[in-house]
Amino acid sequence: MRLPRPARTAFASAALVTAVFGSLSAAGLLAPAERFAADALLRMSLTHMAPAARPFVTDVTIVALDPQSLRAFPSWPWPRSLYAQAIERLDAAGARALAFDIDLSSPRDPADDATLADAIARSGKVALAAFRQQTSLPGGGELEVASVPIAALADRAAALGNVLMPVEPDGVMRFAPRWSEVGGREIPTLAGAALDIATGSPAARDTTRMRVDYRLSAGIPEIPMVEVIEGRFDPRLVAGRAVLIGATAAEFQDLWDTPLGPARPGVWIQAVAYRTLAAERAGAPVLRAAPGWLGCAVIFAACLLVSALAPLGPSQRLGALALLAGGAVAASAVLVATRGLAVDPVAPIAAMASMHVLGLERVRDRLRGLLAARERSLTAIYQVGEAAAAPLGGDPLGVALVLLADVVDARAVALLRAGADGTLDGRRLDWQRRGTTPAGDTELAARALSERATASVPRRGDGNAGLCVYAPLFAGTRAVGVLVVERESQDPLERVELRTLATVGAQIALLAENLRLVDDLRSTFDASIEAIASAVEARDGYTEMHCRRLAIFSVSMADRLGLPAEEIEAIRLGALLHDVGKIGVRDEVLLKPGRFTPEERAEMEEHTVCGHRIVMPIHGLRPTTLACVRHHHERWDGTGYPDGLAGDAIPLGARIVSIVDVWDALSTKRPYKNALAQAEVREILEKYRGNFFEPALVDLFLEILDEDGAAMLALTGGGAS
């Protein structure tokens, strides 16, 4: 039997939306919302529904290293004999298994370690913690380190267990690996190891991960460690149970976020994982995600329900949708509480909302023409505003012209720039469709600018009909230029297009003015740095142009190394400013013709720290520039000053500047010496290659000196001989 057309449409729409949202969910694109919803449902089920009794093969108790215990035994780390006493007390109370969530990977006092090892051996049911962690290396990459108990303890333990659990992208622990590789051996989780010992039946190796069932977290007994050691606990809390021993005090920083809230101790999470595994072995349902087919079926049913609401009015439809969404959330919470089945409500609710929007398509059709024009206008205004907010990146003026052309359907757009005198100066920025000529007539643009009035005139040029609009742009009273828009059509611009042209034009004017101010600030900044360098050189006539030569050769080396433009500029500024601290050195020391006394040398060496202190408050200087000022007298072998850095610990910019600085100092006349010939200078650089200087950088500098040295020195009027 053929279904009626409305029914076929409803089924087709529901199938399409189900496929879309099912794919989004399967691809993980809805994962952040799904994780949030799953945690909320779990908390809701625990708050409003009494948890069902869960059968356990054997239950668990926590012995906590809590604040009370830390006050009782304040000397941390504790003697391991205390743990031995705890093992004896817990064994005597009838514990089925003992698991230490404590790092025992470092040896301590041999006698103390032996006491604990003997206690572990006598018990025969102790599991110890192991874990594997990754550490980021300074030069990149990661180092994987396995932490296992010392052999004296590990050899006597009944099992080892992994205590690390993966953290989800939102920082929450929801899953645990059943087995992991640590130190070259496959081991279960610490919770799994404790359960194996307690039941006497080790589980088979399983590489899948399990969802920790936090519904089972209620009522886990917790005993302070000090009460165990002193024998003041109730043995009934231990008899026949597995006991997990670990830190709960905040001082240990073993606190993690869980679906039930933040800052839960790791040993508590291990205890919940233990109960999850125990419930599995008892055949009880534990928390698990619904199969994919069930999720798709729920989405499909939700979409069909929304289709059934089509005859209702808008307010009734929205009310019914709200009831459906609330019902989906409530049903999901009930399934989590009673069956441990996590059916995600996010995708069904999103699908229902999408079906509701699709049901309003006829209304959208009637408004589409007006909305489309306004959307393009608002988009252009917003995106031009975004470009204006970040004027240093890319080509914001070019982006603005392209957006404007799209809104007003232009064949070509141009910005004719005005100079400081308020008239067009010949600079222009163009956008045009392929095969068209640039927009605008210079005479008409100049007239519009002088009259400060927008003009719309027939397009001149290739004989084709069209319209050309000239809109003068001003930033306050200052003329920025003229915005020219050419269209194929002779129809005047509509009201929305005119408003867009005016708004975008004002933003372009502001953007162009901001870019001009930024350029002026850059010029002022560069001039200030040059002035500081000149002031330093003026104190020492023997080192005229010294800073500029350093800047030229340092930039050349940085460029040959392929550094980014920002780093090259930072090294150039560092070379110009490297000796600024000599402003603080007395003339009788700075200009002394003979050797320095130890006190005078100490004063001279202080110029690196003084210079760093001078330039550090300057806004806009990169860390590389500051490093060049402070560290250009460090040496590759660590014998330099002021901080005695060595090798790669010396910032690259400072390593570059130090080589050029020594070369220039040896090559020029100073109060205390004559200039050396270049052959002698090269011998000195090569002699200290690998001691004072990085070898590869010395080779690079000498290569540059051979290839381009004469031409580069000519840029500074000569200098080194």
Higher pLDDT, 356 or 386: 356
Angle at the Cα of 637 from the Cα atoms of 636 and 639, rounded to 5 degrees:
105
Higher pLDDT, 454 or 464: 454
| Residue 595 structural domain | 539-714
d(C-alpha 134, C-alpha 225), whole Å = 31
At residue 462, does pLDDT exceed 80? no
Residue 667: pLDDT band with limits 50, 70, 90:
confident
511 touches 504 (CB < 8 A):
no
Which whole number is the average pLDDT over 601-621? 84
Indicate left, alpha or beta for 176 from its phi (over 0: left) and psi (-120 to 50: alpha): beta
Domain containing 507 — which CATH number?
Answer: 3.30.450.40
Does residue 114 fall inside a structural domain?
A: yes
pLDDT (tens digit per residue) in 299-354: 666 666 666 666 666 666 666 666 766 766 666 666 666 666 666 676 677 766 76
d(C-alpha 29, C-alpha 51), whole Å = 32
Does residue 305 fall inside a structural domain?
A: yes
At residue 179, does pLDDT exceed 80? yes
Considering the domain architecture, whether residues 449 and 569 belong to the same structural domain is answered as no
d(C-alpha 120, C-alpha 101), whole Å = 14
Considering the domain architecture, whether residues 547 and 654 belong to the same structural domain is answered as yes
Q: From 489, 518, 547, give the residue that closes a domain.
A: 518
- Local structure of 192: helix, strand or coil: helix
Report strand pairing: 159-162 vs 185-188: unpaired
Exposed / middle / buried, residue 565 (Cβ in 10 Å: 0-12, 13-18, 19+): exposed
pLDDT (tens digit per residue) in 245-262: 999 988 888 888 988 888
Q: What is the pLDDT of residue 193?
A: 93
Which whole number is the average pLDDT over 352-360? 62
Q: What is the pLDDT of residue 403?
A: 67
Q: What is the pLDDT of residue 657?
A: 93
Considering the domain architecture, whether residues 602 and 699 belong to the same structural domain is answered as yes
At residue 713, does pLDDT exceed 80? no
Considering the domain architecture, whether residues 336 and 448 belong to the same structural domain is answered as no
Considering the domain architecture, whether residues 629 and 560 belong to the same structural domain is answered as yes
Does residue 271 fall inside a structural domain?
A: no
The DSSP code sequence of 607-670 is: HHHHHHHHHTTSTT--HHHHHHHHHTT--TTS--SSS---GGGS-HHHHHHHHHHHHHHHHS-B
Angle at the Cα of 649 from the Cα atoms of 646 and 654, rounded to 5 degrees:
90
Considering the domain architecture, whether residues 414 and 550 belong to the same structural domain is answered as no
Q: How many domains, in total, are found in the chain?
A: 4
Does residue 276 fall inside a structural domain?
A: no
At residue 163, does pLDDT exceed 80? yes
Which whole number is the average pLDDT over 683-697? 92
d(C-alpha 304, C-alpha 298), whole Å = 10
Residue 346, C-beta contacts closer than 8 angstroms, at least 6 positions apart? 25, 30, 33, 34, 37
Considering the domain architecture, whether residues 47 and 150 belong to the same structural domain is answered as no
Does residue 365 fall inside a structural domain?
A: no
Considering the domain architecture, whether residues 440 and 474 belong to the same structural domain is answered as yes
Does residue 525 fall inside a structural domain?
A: no
Considering the domain architecture, whether residues 318 and 440 belong to the same structural domain is answered as no
The residues facing 161 across adjacent strands are 129
601 touches 657 (CB < 8 A):
no
Considering the domain architecture, whether residues 32 and 107 belong to the same structural domain is answered as no
pLDDT (tens digit per residue) in 638-651: 999 999 999 999 99
Q: What is the pLDDT of residue 717?
A: 45
Higher pLDDT, 150 or 37: 150
Does residue 254 fall inside a structural domain?
A: yes
Considering the domain architecture, whether residues 14 and 130 belong to the same structural domain is answered as no
Residue 679: pLDDT band with limits 50, 70, 90:
confident
Does residue 64 fall inside a structural domain?
A: no
d(C-alpha 549, C-alpha 269), whole Å = 64
Indicate left, alpha or beta for 714 from its phi (over 0: left) and psi (-120 to 50: alpha): alpha
pLDDT (tens digit per residue) in 423-446: 888 888 777 776 667 777 888 888
At residue 703, does pLDDT exceed 50? yes
Indicate left, alpha or beta for 402 from its phi (over 0: left) and psi (-120 to 50: alpha): alpha
Domain containing 699 — which CATH number?
Answer: 1.10.3210.10
pLDDT (tens digit per residue) in 521-550: 565 566 666 666 666 665 555 455 777 888
Q: From 302, 329, 359, give the residue that closes a domain.
A: 359
Considering the domain architecture, whether residues 553 and 696 belong to the same structural domain is answered as yes
295 touches 6 (CB < 8 A):
no
Closest CA to 34 of 356, 349, 339: 349
Mark out the alpha helices in 390-494 (DSSP H runs).
396-408, 442-451
